[in-house]
Amino acid sequence: MNTLAALAAPRRFRPGFWTAVFVVLFLAFCTVTVIRYTKGLGAVTNLSDQFPWGLWIGFDLLCGVGLAAGAFTLTAVVHLFNLKRFEPIVRPTILTGFLGYAFVIVALLLDLGQPWRIWHAIVYWNTHSVMFEVAWCVMLYTTVLAVEFSPVVFERFGFHAPARLIHRLITPLVILGVLLSTLHQSSLGSLYLIVPSKLHPLWYSPMLPLYFYISAIGAGIGMVILESYLSKRAFHRHLEMDLLEPLARGMVVALGIYGLMRLQGIARNHAFGTLGSYEGRMFLVEFLLGVVLPVVLMSFRRLRTNPDWLVGGAFLAVLGFVMNRLNVSITGMEAASGTRYLPSAMEIIVSLGLVATGMAVFAFAVRTFSIFPDGPVAGRSKEPAVGA
Amino acid sequence: MGLLFDATRCIGCGACSSACKEQNKLPGKVEEVLTAYTWTTVQEKEGLNVRKLCMHCEVPTCASVCPVGALKKTPEGPVVYDAERCMGCRYCMMACPFEIPKYQWDRPVPVVGKCIMCAGRVKDGQPTACAAACPAEATIFGKKEDLIWEARTRIRQKPGAYVDHIYGLTEAGGTSVLMISNVPFEKLGLKSNLPGEPPAMKTWQVLSNIPDFVAVWAVFLYGVHWITARREEVARVGANGNGHGRNGQGNGREDRS
Ligand code: SF4
Ligand code: SF4
Ligand code: SF4
């Protein structure tokens, strides 16, 4: 009786605004999925023979993987560079990484023409294909992240033996994770090495793999900061400024190196003359807003130590990263394709639905497991489910 | 084997396109642009008729990028497609420098469509259906060496009647389909900015270095771990043993990095 009354009590179950948004998005996502599988890709996307890769590759794949880069960066910092004080934010970061990859896999299942054949990549090998490498790295690294995260789950249910075993294996696991991440963060860039005659010279470079790798480290760190902030808001936690401030310094270094490399690449392509074009404007927004501005802002200690500015800087870095991936995959490819591509509403719904689901799962995990140092977070906040 | 297309001879009758439809049992009418159901088409450009079809590259970009090896260059020359393997990532479409592979956007179970140089016929020693159907000998089928020789002869015999270039000899590393014309090729809608080196080499340079890279990177990472772990141990022993000099140093270093 008591429990029933408790369950029925309106105060215990009060879906907030964000829960409603999530439910609506999720239902829309399901509808689009059904249409996609019954009517084909043409019915839901603006993709065409001229423009075969769109938002789902540009955002879901390239950004989903990139923003999960915080996981390997931070595990390397803690376990290889032995900076143990960053330990408290490793778990949420690994969780974000894992969700990022899960997000990518779901996105691939939607984007592939014949997703039920996704296992073909395991049996039919073409080692000359970058896509083949990407497929293997995604599979293996998702597994590594799941294993790295599993002690959290084991602990929750009181299985200490497997948790201890994984703890002992953590060094090889982390090394494997860093290796796999390095390989395929960069190979997402290598995907575009094959189109020297198609990708605009502002973005094409033989250094693409390195650009992708370094910018992923920068944005991955930005994401760690951003996610700490979002969790703070959603779960009323404090911001670990003493940890985030040095991370912001790391971000400045990564973005700085990346920015210089990009400028050098553009000079090498003699592409500065194209800055007035449509592509040039898109590049300027990406570069000034997403690289130059965060580097400059975060170079000031005073701004770095101020939570608002810190989060702002991290947000810019992440935004710049997303814009770069969209520019490489869409803006830079449009001229050669002879068409304009704008994602359809249904493509956008799928991407948003995936992001929202990822956030909901994150919020659920934070409540159920000890993700943050202070244990499972009680579901007392006014804005449950989508914690952002 | 290969095909030679001479734009100056093409009369635009479209017999090749219809023959292709029939040979490969492709549904629908011949369309103006390539689609998954129209593997070759004749387009009017600059008063000339130009065929569009897969160029059957010597080092096919499409085959190099396909993660499951659904596209392959056969020893006879055709680049063929195995619909049973393809999982529909469309990387081949993205990567092909000639923008040839097309997709069945309207089907729930789609496959890629592109000219396969009638691989079955070619294997049996027959010419492709399009070459067999051509009434003007604008498309001819034969050994690639013979075709190159034929193209050179035509260009040499009538000076000024042709652009002095065989399209496909060097483009994207060379192709099995060659074209000659009296109008510059870029005006015919053919790509003129293609590198002479096959694009596949660019990715292979990166991919082939992966094993070495993995080995070096793994050793490096383990080395870093070993050093930092050792440093911590030394610091700990120092703290337990003789005073805190070492300890202080270890901590200081950790805080700074
Ligand atoms: S033209 Fe395109 S589809 Fe044809 S073989 Fe070359 S890369 Fe492949
Ligand atoms: S779409 Fe099919 S043939 Fe083309 S690269 Fe992908 S798996 Fe290979
Ligand atoms: S070679 Fe065969 S498949 Fe290719 S265009 Fe000619 S008829 Fe069609």
pLDDT recorded at residue B236: 84
Decide if B207 and A128 are in contact by the 8 Å CB cutoff: yes
> E strands along B10-169, which residues?
41-45, 48-52, 71-73, 79-81, 102-103, 112-113, 139-142
Residue B29 clears pLDDT 60, i.e. is over it? yes
Q: How far is CA B172 from CA A195, A267, B114, B115, B165, in A?
A: 11, 25, 18, 18, 15
- Distance separating alpha carbons of residues B112 and B87, to the nearest angstrom: 10
Rounded to whole angstroms, the Cα distance separating B67 from B74 reads: 18
Dist. CA B103 → ligand 3 center (Å): 17
Residue A250 has a CB neighbour count (10 Å cut-off) of 17
Which structure tokens are listed for B23?
């040979």
Decide if pLDDT at A43 tops 90: yes
Here the contacts of B146-154 (C-beta below 8 Å, separation 24 or greater) are B147/B2, B147/B3, B147/B4, B147/B178, B148/B178, B150/B4, B151/B4, B151/B6, B151/B178, B151/B180, B154/B6, B154/B180
Interface predicted TM-score (ipTM): 0.89
Q: Do the beta carbons of residue A183 and residue B218 sit within 8 Å? A: no
Is the pLDDT reported for residue B239 higher than 80?
A: no
The pLDDT tens digits of the residues spanning A107-120 come to: 999 999 999 999 99
The Å distance, Cα A327 to ligand 3 centre, comes to: 36
* pLDDT at A56 > cutoff 50: yes
Provide the pLDDT for residue B241. Answer: 60
Residues with CB under 6 A from ligand 2: B 65-66, 68, 70-71, 86-92, 112
Hunting for tokens 């969700």 — which residue is that?
A: A99
Mean pLDDT of A8-30: 75
Q: Which range has the worst mean pLDDT, A7-16, A36-45, A325-334?
A: A7-16
Q: Name the residue among A80, A118, A182 with its Cβ closest to that of B87.
A: A118
Q: Is B159 helix (H, G, I), strand (E, B) or coil?
A: coil
- Identity of the residue in A41, A178, A187 whose CB atom sits nearest the CB atom of B221: A178
Q: Which of B128, B141, B177 to mutate to test the pocket of ligand 3 (most atoms within 8 A of CB)?
A: B128
Name the residue in chain B with its Cα closest to that of A176.
B218
Per 3-state DSSP, chain A is made up of helix, strand and coil in percentages (nearest 5) of 75, 0, 25
- Choosing from B3, B5, B40, B55 the residue with most ligand 1 atoms within 8 A of its CB, the one to mutate for a pocket test is B55
CA distance A43 to A32: 10
**Chain-chain contact of B257 with A196 (C-beta, under 8 angstroms):** no
Q: How far apart are the CA of A158 and the nearest CA of chain B, in angstroms?
A: 29
By C-alpha distance, the chain A residue nearest B111 is A113
Q: Contact A118/B224, CB-based, under 8 Å?
A: no
d(CA A295, CA B132): 64
- Contact call for residues A52 and B93 (beta carbons, < 8 A): yes
Contacts of A363 (CB under 8 A, 6+ apart): A234, A384, A385, A386, A387
A205: left (phi over 0), alpha (psi -120 to 50) or beta: beta
What does the pLDDT read at residue A363? 87
Quick one: closest CA in B to A131, which residue? B67
Task: Domain ranges for chain A, please list them.
Answer: 22-32+44-191+343-388, 198-338
Residue nearest to atom 4 of ligand 2 (CA): B92
Report whether pLDDT(B131) > 90: yes
User: Using CA atoms, how far apart are residues A144 and A73, in angstroms rounded to an integer?
Assistant: 14
- Alpha-carbon gap, residue B19 to B23, rounded angstroms: 6
Q: Which pLDDT score is estimated for B242?
A: 56
Q: Measured between alpha carbons, how far is B109 from A146 in angstroms, rounded to an integer?
A: 32
